[in-house]
Structure 1
Amino acid sequence: MNLKRRYLCLSLLGAVHGITLAAQPDPLWEKVVQQYKAADNYAAKEIRQNITVEKDQETRHSVVRLQLSGWKDNTPEYEIVSIDPAPKEKKKPMNMDAMLKDAYRQVFSTTAQPKRSDNVRLGEQNATLFELDEGSLQKVSLQLWAEPSTGKILQLKMQARMPMAFEASISTSYRPGPDGMSFPAQRQTAFEIHIPFKKAKGSFDEALSQWEARPASAGTSAKPASP
């Protein structure tokens, strides 16, 4: 093998080695994903929603209290405890976690390659910031602040968009909860629906509390454990 060909082979091997190293998952990001998946086995027993919806040139405000009523197919289900002002007709609870589950699943993957920035200040805390853009048709962007040692989620901001269908922007603050984990405590969501005859926009300000683990029998439907 002549010198030129040997140099070319070494260069190609080096490039392949560099790609392999770049594809290695970030150990801290793996911890973040593990934290998210573990927290997915819990649900807030109570959710208080402050809702504003603009539709058909009319703006409506309401305060809704939801309570965990059980689980179905590993997904928490909620019932409405109260609505102020009282609606003229029966309303179904709006569970933002269920609506955005696919978007969360898209970004919380150990195969994702987010941009990492260490030693970022989040209030009084030192944090690691992960930034990620995923998807082509359904576009999801994520900014996530995590504890540098444990991967516990401190705060996240996410934008999800489906052209000609919807777009949503979510900002969530996390707090310590059961079993030494962190859970969403305050969440603000702004959304806009672009589907013809269903066009609307609005916002949800939510307070989530009293987190409970999913019962072992929640494969079909089950009542939550007593507090």
Structure 2
Amino acid sequence: MSTDTSDLPSSKLGTKSHWDDVYANELSNFEEIGDEGEIWFGEDSIEKMVEWVQDYIPISPTPSILEIGSGNGTLLFAISQAGYDPTHIFGVDYSEDAIKLSRSIGVTRGEGSELIRFEVCDFLQDVPRGEDGQEEWDLVLDKGTFDAMALAEKDEHGRSPADGYPSRVGKVVKREGFFLIVSCNFTEDELKEKFANSETGLEYHSNIKFPSFAFGGHSGNVYSSIALRKP
């Protein structure tokens, strides 16, 4: 693991074409057999993130919730099912088929899931806006999106598209709002260094504990997660 995103090798996981192919296939499978697709980081990550939301984000007054890189929408559906108002939940993804898939799943699930808003948006280029035009959110979520960005092609100066991500996140979190991120490429300390600083305006708040492993005399966590708050 590396704090410097320039040390991470480029991978197809960091390309839009890869995710377009993934979601085109998952959309086709859903339309044919009703398979909702892969749960990125597994069901355990969904459960733990929802538990954190329930611990720290009151249902009333109604919070505005944004997921960056929402994929098939599984996390947002789970948050809605936990009692949060789906009309204030918003998912964005730069893959058009991911948005088509999440919308279709929402309609099929019903029970409010169809009311969650999903829109195509390249977060590094565009500002996600709620139905009333707001650009700041009470809770912003990231489950693997920063990881994928860090694996994108570097520019001629060796800079990763992920380098500009933390500051953009800081801009869309409301005052007294939260950012919750789960990562497989970065440790908790590395996430703190990236996101808890004067550039983002975010401060470390808490974390989610994931199972640990030991190998070759070293130990670590399967995934890392921190929550940050804008004071």
Normalised to the residue count of structure 1, the TM-score between the two structures is 0.26
User: TM-score, normalized by length of structure 2?
Assistant: 0.26
Q: Compare the two structures and name the one with the higher strand fraction.
A: 1
- Structure with a larger share of its residues in helix: 2
Higher Cα Rg: structure 1 or 2? Answer: 1
